[in-house]
Amino acid sequence: AEIERLIKEGLPDADVTINDLRGDGDHYAAQVVSAAFAGKSRVQQHQLVYQALQGRMGNELHALQLQTSAPDNT
């Protein structure tokens, strides 16, 4: 819930899905769809998400499998 809140604060239009992979509160998978990602490389997209997480990666958040994409225009 905290991860989703932070991502949505940083990327207000984002559609965020978070899964706790091990149930331990440390290992998550996140799928983030945001128009802010349009035209950006995967690395740039991930950087936007990490910025939104405000330095929590590596501290209280140890592992995050990240999938990012821009919304489909279909």
Give me the residue spans of the domains in the chain. Answer: 2-69
**Average pLDDT score, the chain:** 90
> What is the reported pLDDT for 18?
94
Stated as kind and residue range, the H or E segment containing 15 is: strand 15-20
Stated as kind and residue range, the H or E segment containing 31 is: strand 27-33
Homologous superfamily, domain 2-69: BolA-like (3.30.300.90)
> Model pTM greater than 0.95?
no
Average pLDDT value for residue range 9-19: 96
